[in-house]
Amino acid sequence: MQLIRRSANRRLRAFGAVLITTLGLTTAVAVTPATAAASACLTGTLAFDHLDAEAGTSKPLRTQVARNANWELWGRTGSGTATRLTAGITGASDGRFTACHTGSLAEAYVRFRSSSTSMWRVVKAANNTTDYTFDSARRTNVSGTLDLGTVKVPSTLQRAWKVVDTLNVLYWKRANPSSSCWTARQSDGRCDQITFVWDPKVADGGYWDYPNTNYVFLGATMPDSKHLILHEAGHWLQWQLYGRGFPVVEGCNPHYIEKHSSESCAWTEGFADAVAAYALGDYRYVYDNGSSYSFENDASTPGWDDGDTVQGRVGSSLLDLWAPGGPDGGNWNRTIALMTRHFSQDFREYFTEDRPAAGLSTTGAAERILAGHTIWY
């Protein structure tokens, strides 16, 4: 079985920001000059094609709008060089952009960046932390509003924008009611940014580089799996929830969903598995080749080891605690709040010490959930 690797042992520079509510959550969005008096606008929809590993090993090609992706309006008023005139992000639900400038433009185009505000980005290399960019078609003598229609991300760059778009689903569920940052440990204007390094020419990847760069590294085809993207983001999120701290992880190379590793490995990998499944609303892990592995398990599941040293047992326990009708109120919000106040070295500490301290149940339904996954405390 293919292993899920992380580096336990090797391990939106904002354009001026305001707070708006996006799909019920507050987020930082770039300020664009008022468009009421604008007389030159380029509008359209940003979209990308991608290979859909979540749909199976055939990985069908899908087209999707790129949500909350950074754009810049570039243009010139005369014969000089084009400059950046304004900036913003695409629509949170439809990928739409409206890029306007007061006054007509001799030439105008929109530049798209592989990032979202100052909250997350995809860069070219650890030593070249620049976004991927591409430009729309250039238009001349722009006055009034010109609709560019659907602007497609170039096929060679589509996986970068898939990462950008996929991180939205985790951000929207981050359960931080106090700021637009990833966690309540940080206040607006002081948010940490998650960085993904993706190089289409490099096959190696699939790990969070802790404690070195703290970037997520993805190999060439790895963005085909949203689960893989979000699993690695889950490691970074746990580090953020713990105030840039992380459990001391041992016995984690290799590690497998259904097999023994160590208490610390099962806790950190099981949490990351649960982050991805919770964000996407399912109960499995999907590899970038389109194969998947279900987290369904009990004492009689063939091939599964028992106990809290098995990441699949830990991850499925978390998902069931957070499930609709479950003991935690139907979501992970109380666990997220707990993790901003209590550091858990392993799942045992999380369940037996930190949950009671946060007012979360460890008896009744909660205890039965763990027992169903062969964890007894």
Band (pLDDT 50/70/90 cuts) for residue 2 is very low
Mean local confidence (pLDDT), 107-133: 98
What was the pLDDT predicted at 25?
39
User: Which amino acid appears at position 153 of this protein?
Assistant: V
Whether 54 is catalytic is no
Q: What is the pLDDT of residues 143-168, one digit of tens each?
A: 999 999 999 999 999 999 999 999 99
- Residue 39 is predicted with a pLDDT of 87
pLDDT digits (tens, 9 = 90+) for 267-285: 999 999 999 999 999 999 9
How big is the CA angle at 370 (ends 369 and 373), to the nearest 5 degrees? 95
In angstroms, how far is CA 216 from the centroid of its own chain? 11
Tell me: the pLDDT tens digits for 10-25? 333 333 333 333 433 3
Helical packing angle, 263-280 and 226-241, nearest 10°: 120
CATH for 34-154 is 2.60.40.10
Pairing assessment for the beta strands 207-208 and 216-218 based on DSSP bridges: antiparallel
Q: Write out pLDDT tens, residues 167-190.
A: 999 999 999 999 999 999 999 999
Q: How many whole angstroms separate alpha carbon 82 and alpha carbon 170?
A: 36
Task: For residue 215, give both structure tokens.
Answer: 């970037």
Q: Active-site residue among 72, 107, 232, 296? A: 232
pTM: 0.91
Boundaries of every domain in the chain: 34-154, 163-372
**Residues 6+ away with beta carbon under 8 Å from 24:** 172
User: Please, which pLDDT band fits residue 37 given cuts at 50, 70 and 90?
Assistant: low
